Amino acid sequence: MTNKEILSRLLALTQPYRGRLGLACLAMVMGAAMTSLLAYLVKPVLDHIFIAKNSLYLNWLPLVVVAVFLLNSLFYYLHSFLLEFVGQSVVRDLRTKIFAHVQAHSLAFFHTYPTGTLISRVISDITLVQQTVSSALVTILRDFFQILFSLALICYLNWKLALISLLVLPVAAWPIIRFSAIFRRLSTRTQEETAGVSNRLFETITGNRIVKAFGREQHENRRFSDQIAGLFKVVIKDAQFRSLQHPLTEFIGGIAIACFIWIGGWEVLRGGMTAGDFFAFLTALISAYGPVKDVSRLNSTIQQGLAAAVRAYEVLDLPPDITDRPDAIELPPFKNEIRFERLSFAYENEDVLRDINLRVPTGQTLAIVGASGGGKTTLTNLIPRFIDATKGAVKIDGHDVREVTLTSLRQQVAIVTQQTILFNETARYNILYGNFEANEAAMRQAAEAAYALDFIQALPQGFDTVIGEGGARLSGGERQRLCIARAILKDAPILILDEATSALDVEAEHEVQKALENLMRGRTTFVIAHRLSTIKNADRIIVIKDGRIVEEGAHDTLLARQGEYAHLYRMQFS
């Protein structure tokens, strides 16, 4: 993606704020005009006050200078604040857009982009874009108008010297152009290393229990130190070139100004221009050179922002693989059956499910068992379209799930998994997440049905107690019952239980199992279980092996067959 394309896309984000942007540009034009007027006032100050000793000019010129400074300050405030507002608004919109786009992706997307990388894109990368839009572009636009007015004044004062200055400016701009590609490359590497640090940090903090259990603190310290060292190396390289660019530009500017002093001095000595003309010219030239230095100084920041924008748009330009079709319909309330018809699923050319044919009538509890990696979770993930079948179809009351809207489909599915997903909010918020429209009575009823009411009321602030990150203030069984209360409040007709009790001890499992019985009542339930003792009372059990259904029937029937299910059962209870 070229710089022009990136800037064009960033500029498109400013459209809702074009009124403020236009006013800011007008203020910048007026501010640049005031700065050039100040440079021009050097001429009458020298010629009429210090040389001609005219007292009239002495009385009113200082007032003019004060007025010009006042207007310049006012215009500076206006353009600085308005452009900052526009820049921050663009960054806010871009962050929101990326977050919403990430949420729209399927589970496969999150396998490609680790959590730390996504956090880095939304936080670190967009912060760099913010610096470019809010700070760097503000300075560049202001400096552009400043250079324009200064050059106009230079041409007015002495067109011959102006021609020479126009030849010098490209030389002064050479370091900026030369270093841009270097800064862009280093910035991309810096952001990649920063994402790596985010990933390492996220994994270590979330896995701190395992780190401590295995005594790997020093090992993780070394790994993180190596990651930081990689980032440090790139950052120092960037600092080296930034430190080199500024003095190089300064030196070129110094040579140019020295040449103009020599040439202008000769012009004054031979009577070609007055001392006031010369010093006004020199002041205007310095006013034009100052912005060139600013651009040089900000070049690294700009390139960082452009590289960060490329990474942000890399995510935004990746279309979600699971979306509503243009002609998608609302899924009617579930009444009759769910069918899996000649269904297959492959991940990265590896078959996970093969030719699944299954009918689950409403109200039935279907248990799914089999060895790890056999495809059990994949099968249930196809129902709410977390993934899409490679071949065949999942149909709910005859409607292919790919032909209905995702919202209407997922409203009718509730999920409780082995991994308890809870937010660092209150117990109330976590239960109401299942249905924010529910009233207090319905929420308490859901908590009671999940056998969670007693322990919630025993918390310091009851339902208004913040439960900590991932429910850290609760036990495993309490966390699971809170998840069950959330699912009960959603009141979806289709329920998926993915090893909901496998991580619990016997006592906690007993409490959770009672809550699950309340949750399952009257619902069509898919139960994935490793503990076969928890599914003895299921209406039907299917055994999946190597992606195929190899056995099907009730618990006692399958045991009597002495097949795969009986083999799994003996392995657990021998």
Q: Any idea where the domains of the chain sit in the sequence?
A: 3-316, 337-573
CA distances from 462 to 40, 71, 430, 469, 475 (A): 72, 60, 13, 17, 16
The pLDDT tens digits for 58-110 are 778 888 888 988 998 998 888 888 887 887 888 888 888 888 888 888 877 87
pLDDT for the residue 503: 57
pLDDT at residue 516 greater than cutoff 90: no
CATH of domain 3-316: 1.20.1560.10
In a 3-state reduction of DSSP, which class is residue 439? coil
Average pLDDT in the chain: 82
- Interstrand relation of 540-545 and 391-396 (parallel, antiparallel or unpaired): unpaired
pLDDT for the residue 228: 85
Q: State which of 22-31, 92-101, 401-410 shows the largest mean pLDDT.
A: 401-410
DSSP string, 270-289: TTSS-HHHHHHHHHHHHHHH
Position 136 confidence tier, pLDDT thresholds 50, 70, 90: low
Q: Identify the CA nearest to 461 among candidates 426, 512, 490, 487.
A: 426
pLDDT for the residue 337: 94
pLDDT at residue 293 greater than cutoff 70: no
Q: Identify the CA nearest to 454 among candidates 474, 471, 436, 472.
A: 474
Position 530 confidence tier, pLDDT thresholds 50, 70, 90: confident
| ∠ CA 254-258-259, rounded to 5° | 120
pLDDT for the residue 173: 66
Residue with tokens 């012009």: 267
Residue with tokens 């209150």: 426
In a 3-state reduction of DSSP, which class is residue 412? coil
C-beta neighbour count of 345 within 10 angstroms: 22
pLDDT at residue 449 greater than cutoff 80: yes
pLDDT at residue 340 greater than cutoff 90: yes
What is the identity of the amino acid at 472?
A: A
452 neighbors 485 (Cβ within 8 angstroms):
yes
The pLDDT tens digits for 548-562 are 999 999 988 998 998
- Interstrand relation of 350-361 and 337-347 (parallel, antiparallel or unpaired): antiparallel
Buried b (16+ CB within 10 A) or exposed e, 352-369: bbbebebebeeebbbbbb
Q: Which two tokens stand for residue 388?
A: 């899409």
Q: How far apart are CA 228 and CA 223, in angstroms?
A: 9
pLDDT for the residue 327: 92
Count helices and strands (H / E) in the chain. 21, 10
Q: Which two tokens stand for residue 59?
A: 């009385």
CATH class (in words) of the domain with range 337-573: alpha beta
Considering only residues 308 and 528, tell me which one the structure prediction assigns the higher pLDDT.
Answer: 528
In a 3-state reduction of DSSP, which class is residue 539? coil
To the nearest whole percent, how much of the chain has pLDDT over 70?
A: 89
pLDDT at residue 459 greater than cutoff 70: yes
Position 396 confidence tier, pLDDT thresholds 50, 70, 90: very high
Q: State which of 40-54, 147-161, 351-365 shows the largest mean pLDDT.
A: 351-365
Q: How far apart are CA 120 and CA 143, in angstroms?
A: 32
Considering only residues 248 and 387, tell me which one the structure prediction assigns the higher pLDDT.
Answer: 387
Sign of CA dihedral 163, 164, 169, 175: positive
Q: How far apart are CA 333 and CA 397, in angstroms?
A: 9
Please tell me the pTM assigned to this model. 0.71
**Kind plus residue range of the DSSP H or E element containing 545:** strand 540-545
pLDDT at residue 428 greater than cutoff 90: yes
Position 368 confidence tier, pLDDT thresholds 50, 70, 90: very high
Q: How far apart are CA 360 and CA 497, in angstroms?
A: 15
Considering only residues 293 and 208, tell me which one the structure prediction assigns the higher pLDDT.
Answer: 208
Position 460 confidence tier, pLDDT thresholds 50, 70, 90: very high
pLDDT for the residue 203: 73
